[in-house]
Chain A
Amino acid sequence: MIPPWLRKFMLTVHITFAVSWIGAVVCFLALAIAGLTSRDIQMVQAAYLAMELIARFIIVPLSFAPLLTGPILSLGTPWGLFKHYWILAKLVITVFSTIIMQLHMQPIELLAAAATKTTFLSADLHSMQVQMVVASAVALMALLVEMALAVYKPKGMTPYGWRKQDEQRAMPPKDSQE
């Protein structure tokens, strides 16, 4: 178990990264909608350039950060990483979101490159523009689900969690061993 001061520090870092990730995805979604719907070419160019910067320097690093702080926090406390379904669900969503984000980096870069080189975006890029809106909306929903899981902590232990609990109960108290 990690000491309380370190647990609080890690929790602060974890919440900061997670909330920043949500904020960055909200900004990304707003820019993706602006890029898709605006008729002003300067607005469209600015939106896709900003989206690439946000994705490269904020969203991608922030998607990896909770993967580090989350397991440290859960493994350093009695909650564990695989004992409770809600923690397992958060881990799965984070891993899945990070993979999806990595897969969508190429379309973002292509859109940003196209926005700088052309005065209008061709119909070929239309599907990618929509893809950005859909992907960021899905990512936002996933992150909100994660936040709700962390707040509500729905009950339910995994078979591994029950086994560990049974093992701990079967062990005699430390005082009686002496």
Chain B
Amino acid sequence: MSQNRATPRWVKVATIIAIVLVVILVVLHITGNGFSHHGSIPLYSAIASIIQNGIQLL
């Protein structure tokens, strides 16, 4: 009986997603948008306004 020893597709997809997330995290960190506490942060401010607007609509 032959066994398929190739890496499963879900592992490949998960690896790609993980790499993309790590790259985003590193880019945010390098550009000063992650893990720090700066005053004006465009990305976080945008997310904040989306969350606040969403909750106000509810």
- The answer to whether A134 and B47 have CB atoms under 8 Å apart is yes
Total number of B residues with any Cβ neighbor in A under 8 Å:
21
Across the interface, name the chain B residue whose C-beta is closest to A126: B48
- Picked from B40, B41, B48, the residue with its CB within 8 Å of the CB of A36 is B48
User: Apart from A131-B37, A154-B10, what are 14 other A-B pairs with CB-CB below 8 Å?
Assistant: A33-B55, A36-B51, A89-B11, A124-B38, A126-B44, A127-B38, A127-B41, A127-B45, A130-B45, A130-B51, A131-B44, A156-B7, A156-B10, A156-B11
- The answer to whether A85 and B8 have CB atoms under 8 Å apart is yes
B residues less than 8 Å from A129 (CB atoms) = 48
Q: How far is the CA of A104 from the CA of B37 in the complex (A)?
A: 11
- The answer to whether B10 and A126 have CB atoms under 8 Å apart is no
Cβ-Cβ contact count across A and B, 8 Å cutoff: 62
- Picked from A37, A104, A130, A154, the residue with its CB within 8 Å of the CB of B47 is A130
Q: Is the interface of A mostly helix, strand, loop or mixed?
A: helix
Measured CB to CB, the residues of A under 8 A from B are: 33, 36-37, 85, 89, 92, 103-104, 107, 110, 123-131, 133-134, 154-157, 159, 162
Interface residues as binary, B22-44 with A (CB distance below 8 Å gives 1, 0 otherwise): 00000000000011011111001
Q: How far is the CA of A89 from the CA of B50 in the complex (A)?
A: 32
Measured CB to CB, the residues of B under 8 A from A are: 5, 7-8, 10-11, 14, 18, 34-35, 37-41, 44-45, 47-48, 51-52, 55
- The answer to whether B44 and A134 have CB atoms under 8 Å apart is yes
Known contacts: A36-B51, A130-B45. The answer to whether A107 contacts B8 by CB under 8 A is no
A residues less than 8 Å from B37 (CB atoms) = 107, 110, 124-125, 127-128, 131
Q: How far is the CA of A103 from the CA of B8 in the complex (A)?
A: 33
Across the interface, name the chain B residue whose C-beta is closest to A156: B8
Q: Which of A37, A92, A104 has the most CB of B within 10 A?
A: A37
Nearest CB of chain B from residue A47's CB, rounded to whole Å: 14
Q: How far is the CA of A124 from the CA of B41 in the complex (A)?
A: 9
- The answer to whether A89 and B14 have CB atoms under 8 Å apart is yes
